[in-house]
A = this chain, B = another copy of it.
Amino acid sequence: MAAEQDPEGRAAARPLLTDLYQATMALGYWRAGRARDAAEFELFFRRCPFGGAFALAAGLRDCVRFLRAFRLRDADVQFLASVLLPDTDPAFFEHLRSLDCSEVTVRALPEGSLAFPGVPLLQVSGPLLVVQLLETPLLCLVSYASLVATNAARLRLIAGPEKRLLEMGLRRAQGPDGGLTASTYSYLGGFDSSSNVLAGQLRGVPVAGTLAHSFVTSFSGSEVPPDPMLAPAAGEGPGVDLAAKAQVWLEHVCAHLGLGVQEPHPGERAAFVAYALAFPRAFQGLLDSYSVRRSGLPNFLAVALALGELGYRAVGVRLDSGDLLQQAQEIRKVFRAAAAQFQVPWLESVPIAVSNNIDEEALARLAQEGSEVNVIGIGTSVVTCPQQPSLGCVYKLVAVGGQPRMKLTEDPEKQTLPGSKAAFRLLGSDGSLLMDVLQLAEEPAPQAGQELRVWPPGAQEPCTVRPAQLCEPLPSLAESRALVQLSLSQLSPEHRRLQSPAQYQVVLSERLQALVNSLHARASP
């Protein structure tokens, strides 16, 4: 089945979304008679992003969808033939036409679980030629998804559990799919909703949004709505002319606030009335198209109080410029005073939403004790991950034909760990994480309560650990999003710090360390 016919449509990657060297290597393997050698690759990252001590694994569902649909179409093979040398053996292209992922096995960290440097997010095994071809698309699907989920989880940790976080970064993303991926995985990481409608349609992410400045400034105040009448919320009784009702309330509000009744912009008020006529049960005012204090706020109050008379409650206000924290305090004060003055208690707690290039630092300020901000919209800084716009995942060969493989480059950072491996997560008696152990797949699993000798990477000496509990396979929950919350709660406070000098330990088993040593010795005679 072609990827494009997938029910989730264009979000699936195509087989040719790959680096050309995967295809040239495929020919090399094929020419060497090794296309079907059994191979295993691991996909992992080398450092936690953003200076923190954790990352979240994400993108697995996209990978599964990609692998299920993986097949080179005739047009794909023809394009490859046009790029490779003209005298390439046609039998190679026949082989490409026959490929699918039916012999590929993927083991993975569950979507939303904690991931640490060196621990594989994916372990991909199958025929050498095919699993090599998968490198680039799998990296592409996992790296950014994991990065943005981690970024969103950090923002959630900063915001605390109460604030509502809205992702609104589609326009800042790397084109259409960057936006779709960002919306999906920032929801996974802990955001409440997204502005991205397609993410709602294709991925079930809750979507949210009300109005922009263009809506407000498009009204001059001289427009005549075709039907200005609004029926009461309860559905009984006659409708009222909402614009006229708001005009009456405007006089009360201006008198209460000490403003001249001419000061609030008539176009802004007309826009609020128009929006309230369309969404009487979900009226939100965007306050800063003109002056917040002298126009946006009195206009909002006039329309909200007019709606209130009909039994509707406004659902919020939004600010998109200026000192958001301070304005929120002032607006809340005005809401409280107006609630008392006009005897409408619900007005006190109308949610205040803010946006405007909010990054981690600005979010910390908005989330501080006593803040009156309720909803925070974040675009650029969740979607582009400006602190570190790439996770830098790699996909490395660890075994061929059952034999361990290791990249022994002179750059120690780029060396790999050989062999088909298993990862275990060791827990203390309180359920918190102790460390991850990487060992060879054929080694017996560690046992709870038993002492274990392990090697921190690069260490000269092993150390011992006695886990109270352990998990393998890592816990798989129905709801990946719930897993994120569980995962984060397992981190020690030290590892949950966003700039963490103390990294979580990923250690090697004794036999894995011995294999590393032996391969080093063999390569440096």
Contacts and interface: CB of A to CB of B under 8 A. Distances in A.
Nearest to A182: B174
Interface string A9-40: 11111101111111111011111111001010
A198 B523 contact: no
A30 B227 CA distance: 11
Given A9-B10, A265-B523, A28 B274 contact: yes
Nearest to A216: B407
Contacts of A12: 176
Interface in A165-206: 168, 170-182, 195-198, 200-201
A346 interface: no
Interface stretch (A93-101, A139-147, A155-163): A139-147
Interface string A46-60: 000000000000000
A218 to B, nearest CB: 5
Contact of A414 (B137, B180, B210, B321): B321
A10 B4 contact: yes
A422 B216 CA distance: 24
Given A13-B176, A176-B141, A389-B384, A21 B218 contact: no
A213 B407 contact: yes
Nearest to A141: B175
A197 B16 contact: yes
A220 B322 contact: no
A509 to B, nearest CB: 22
A342 interface: no
Contacts of A30: 278
A115 interface: no
Given A10-B14, A174-B177, A175-B177, A208 B85 contact: no
A74 interface: no
Contacts of A34: 218, 223, 274
B21 A277 contact: no
Contacts of A362: none
A154 interface: no
A17 B523 contact: no
Contact of A173 (B9, B174, B271, B279): B174
A202 to B, nearest CB: 9
A413 to B, nearest CB: 8
A290 B523 contact: yes
A214 B403 CA distance: 14
Contact of A226 (B21, B33, B392): B33
Q: How many copies does the complex hold?
A: 2
Contacts of A11: 175-176
Nearest to A403: B220
B380 A392 contact: yes
Interface stretch (A76-84, A103-111, A473-481, A484-492): A76-84
A216 B32 CA distance: 12
Contact of A25 (B17, B143, B178, B211): B211
A339 interface: no
A278 B28 contact: yes
A225 B85 contact: no
Given A278-B28, A321-B409, A390 B21 contact: no
A18 to B, nearest CB: 5
Interface stretch (A281-289, A329-337, A368-376, A434-442): A281-289
Nearest to A272: B28
A454 interface: no
A207 interface: yes
Contacts of A320: 414
A406 interface: yes
A92 to B, nearest CB: 9
A176 B409 contact: no
Interface string A356-394: 000000000000000000000000100111101110110
A269 interface: no
Nearest to A202: B16
A113 interface: no
A64 interface: no
26 contacts: A10-B177, A16-B201, A18-B170, A20-B196, A20-B200, A20-B207, A21-B209, A24-B278, A27-B279, A28-B277, A29-B215, A29-B274, A31-B227, A31-B274, A31-B277, A132-B215, A140-B176, A173-B178, A213-B397, A214-B395, A217-B397, A218-B397, A218-B405, A290-B523, A291-B410, A386-B386
Given A141-B176, A175-B180, A265-B523, 11 more contacts: A22-B212, A24-B209, A28-B277, A31-B278, A41-B214, A79-B200, A132-B214, A135-B212, A174-B174, A175-B177, A213-B397
- Which 7 pairs across A and B sit closest by C-beta, in order of nearness? A174-B178, A177-B177, A20-B209, A10-B10, A21-B209, A384-B389, A139-B171
